[in-house]
Amino acid sequence: MLLIGLTGGIATGKSTASQHLTNSTPPIPIIDADLIARQVITPHRPAYYSLVRHFGLQIINPETLEIDRAKLGAIVFSGDDVDGRQRKVLNGITHPDIRAEMLHCALKCFLRGERMCVLDTPLLFEAGLWKVVNVVMVVYCSEQAQLARLTARDSLTPTDAKSRIASQMPIDEKRQRADILIDNSSATPDDMRAQLDAAAKAFGQGGGQGS
């Protein structure tokens, strides 16, 4: 089974790309790191307790007892987080669980007899998952497009959006480490979809829209 690592910068178009791959014929299985990142911090999972121990009860929604991701995000992306120390603690607690769960899902794809599957993760390099994939695919776009899409999608101010972009590995570094580059700078995702179809075809899997 071919294991593809799909990554990029925040709001460069990873989810749009993985949605296209999952809708292609035949569908390509996607393992979504953002979804798994939410699952590993649900109440009573080991990472939940580690996060509450470190960040305190302030990160919990008192009604649901779930971790309030907006509150956690405000702590780790705040200007007070000198040298990104709190973000490193958060990553140190959650990344091992996210990694393990993603690999578990990949193993299930292999056992089902899939020809390929895609690990969709913004932190392919940061979380060390690039070491286990066969192919690294990087979705990138121009800086202006990234900023515009991020501010629009997440209703962020340009300053907050810039700080989130700056907290990630620079997109140029990711581009240099890519086996396959997908350019999503066009004003619509159609151009990117054609590049994805070509890549899927090259890997011997479909390469067209199913629905």
Q: Which of 99, 184, 199, 200 touches ligand ADP by CB under 6 A?
A: 184
Q: Which is nearer to ligand ADP, 95 or 149 (CB)?
A: 149
d(CA 207, CA 89): 40
Among candidates 171, 170, 173, 159, which has minimal Cα distance to 77? 159
Does 12 interact with ligand ADP (rule: CB under 6 A)?
Answer: yes
For ligand ADP (CB under 6 A), the number of binding residues is 16
- What residues between 123 and 162 interact with ligand ADP by CB under 6 A? 149, 153
- Close Cβ partners of 122 (under 8 Å, ≥ 6 residues apart): 7, 8, 9, 10, 14, 33, 34, 168
- Given candidates 8, 32, 41, 182, which one binds ligand ADP under the rule CB under 6 A? 8
**Residue 99 touches ligand ADP, criterion: CB under 6 A:** no
Is 187 a binder of ligand ADP (CB under 6 A)?
yes
Question: Of the two residues 3 and 11, which places its CB atom closer to ligand ADP in the complex?
Answer: 11
Least distance CB 45 / ligand ADP (angstroms): 24
Residues 55-74 that bind ligand ADP (CB under 6 A): none
Minimum distance, C-beta of residue 122 to ligand ADP, in the bound complex (Å) = 7
CB 67 within 8 A of CB 60: yes
Of 15, 86, 94, 205, which one interacts with ligand ADP (CB under 6 A)? Answer: 15
The footprint of ligand ADP (CB under 6 A) covers 8, 10-16, 149, 153, 184, 186-189, 192
